[in-house]
């Protein structure tokens, strides 16, 4: 099976280079009729300011603190943190069968903008670059605490992804141990670097740029690609062209280019089904205060659940839970769909066409 042309019609598995795990692709199944669950569309007419929202400027949060009248993006400690800073260090082991240990951490919330109704793709590149600035400064201040070993920056968008507050925001969880996905990705990238003396993602990116089958967007510093091993229907990755360990390495120009890549991919997502497209997204970067990690190459994953329309979701169930992930539409099909889409947000088109009210 030399070329990948047999892959678009025959069931096959693909290897995820970053985790060492496989995904089953069943392209012949896309013809089956859909009679499954249709999700309700969330209302998409939020006000610019909501007096009851704990992320809006000047409002009172759950812990009684008042938000400043912030003008750009704003960060604060999560009032309902999953990890706590002052957890004592304890471990538990019963006969090597019941094993546990305490974990310390800091959880923060980043409000992307003071506007309650604007999601990432609806901000302009300068406004998104302010979010990137904040990610950098937060990463730096958290990494300055020697007990912190890993910093996870992420966003859950849309109520279908369990997002509990509609005001567009992301999160940062910093923790005292390395999480599961990071351990997997560290091992795979390190094995590749040891063997080939180059970054796994750099080589992968060069191959993808050469083939142009799964590339959605590229600028001078970043590439948006549907990974060859994508699990979610319209999964994408943003990969930096430079082999850097973490986002502190990005210079001013690169931060603007990252903001551009973020705007393009999230806008294309929204345009796909003309809906505010839900996803979980987050960046993966080298552990901190944990020795050198030359193998690490910064990247960002987008895992969106929508499959056939704004209201039909892909579920990871049955075989996926018990065996390994499975998908029907091929990553190449998804990439073609996303690539064709406009980078102008569908809402801004409708706004432009509405006649002003006299």
Q: Which strand (E) or helix (H) includes residue 1?
A: none
DSSP string, 62-90: TTS-B----SS-EEEE-TT-SSBTT----
The active-site residue, picked from 116, 167, 169, 345, is 169
Indicate the SS3 state at residue 137: helix
| CA-to-CA dists, residue 288 to 192, 258, 297, angstroms | 21, 22, 14
**What is the rounded CA–CA span in Å between residue 82 and residue 30?**
39
Question: Two tokens at 336?
Answer: 């073609």
Q: Which residue has the tokens 């809906």?
A: 275
Residues in the chain: 358
DSSP string, 4-58: SGGGGTS-EEEE-TTT--EEEE-GGGGGS---S--PPPPP----S--TT-TTSTT
**What is the rounded CA–CA span in Å between residue 277 and residue 238?**
17
- The answer to whether residue 2 is catalytic is no
| Active site residues per annotation | 169
């Amino acid at each position: 099976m030399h070329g990948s042309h047999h892959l678009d019609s025959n069931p096959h598995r693909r290897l995820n280079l970053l985790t060492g795990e496989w995904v089953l692709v069943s392209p012949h199944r896309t013809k089956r009729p859909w009679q499954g669950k249709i999700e309700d569309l969330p209302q998409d007419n939020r006000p610019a300011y909501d007096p009851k929202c704990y992320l809006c400027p000047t409002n009172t949060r759950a812990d009684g603190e008042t938000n400043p009248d912030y003008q750009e993006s704003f960060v604060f400690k999560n009032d309902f943190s999953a990890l706590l800073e002052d957890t004592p260090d304890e471990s538990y082991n019963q006969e090597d069968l019941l094993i546990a240990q305490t974990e310390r951490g800091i959880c923060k919330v980043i409000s992307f903008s003071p506007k309650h109704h604007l999601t990432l793709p609806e901000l302009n590149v300068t406004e998104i670059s302010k979010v990137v600035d904040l990610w950098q400064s937060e990463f730096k201040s958290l990494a300055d605490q020697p007990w912190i070993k890993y910093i996870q920056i992420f966003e859950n968008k849309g109520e279908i992804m369990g997002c509990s507050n509609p005001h567009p925001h992301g999160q940062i969880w910093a923790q005292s141990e390395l999480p599961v996905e990071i351990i997997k990705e560290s091992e795979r990238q390190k094995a590749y670097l040891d063997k080939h003396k180059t970054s796994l993602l750099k080589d992968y990116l060069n191959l993808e740029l050469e083939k142009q089958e799964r590339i959605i967007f590229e600028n001078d510093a970043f590439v948006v690609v549907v990974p060859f091993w994508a699990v979610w229907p319209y999964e994408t990755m943003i990969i930096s062209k430079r082999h850097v360990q973490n986002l502190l390495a990005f210079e001013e120009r690169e931060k603007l280019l990252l903001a551009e890549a973020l705007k393009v991919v999230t806008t294309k997502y929204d345009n796909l089904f003309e809906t505010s497209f839900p996803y979980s997204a987050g960046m993966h970067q080298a552990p901190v205060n944990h020795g050198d990690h030359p193998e690490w190459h910064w990247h960002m994953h987008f895992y969106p659940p929508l499959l056939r329309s704004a209201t039909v979701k892909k579920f990871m169930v049955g075989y996926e839970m018990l065996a390994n992930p499975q998908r029907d539409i091929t990553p190449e099909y998804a990439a073609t769909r996303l690539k064709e889409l406009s980078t102008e947000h569908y809402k801004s088109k409708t706004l432009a066409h509405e006649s002003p009210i006299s």
